[in-house]
Amino acid sequence: MSSYFVGHNALFNGDHAVHAENCQHLPAEQYRTYLGEFTNCRPAVQQAMTVYPTANGCFSCCESCHRVFSISA
């Protein structure tokens, strides 16, 4: 089990990234919220979405939960 966190500040695309505790992109303590202990990123992202509907897995530490959206013109 790993601890997961969600960043308070939205990324350029509006997502709030969910990170595992050992992620190199984990925000400083004052800029993140603890989500809990989970066996994988999927329930962590679901938990984060209750607060931030645009929560998304970090591309680095939660790759299997990272959704990529293309913007059509």
Q: What DSSP line would sit under 5-53, residue for residue? A: EEESS--TTS-EEEEETT-TTPPPGGGEEEEEEESSHHHHHHHHHTT-T
> In a 10 Å sphere around its CB, with 0-12 CB exposed, 13-18 middle and 19+ buried, how is residue 42 labelled?
middle
| Structural domain includes residue 29 | yes
Confidence of residue 69 (pLDDT cuts 50, 70, 90): low
pLDDT of amino acid 50 = 97
What is the residue whose two structure tokens read 């998304």? 56
Range of the domain at 31: 2-65
Q: How many domains is the chain partitioned into structurally? A: 1
Question: How far is C-alpha 38 from the geometric centre of its chain's CA atoms?
Answer: 13
User: Quick check: pTM over 0.85?
Assistant: yes
| Structural domain includes residue 73 | no
* The amino acid at 26: L
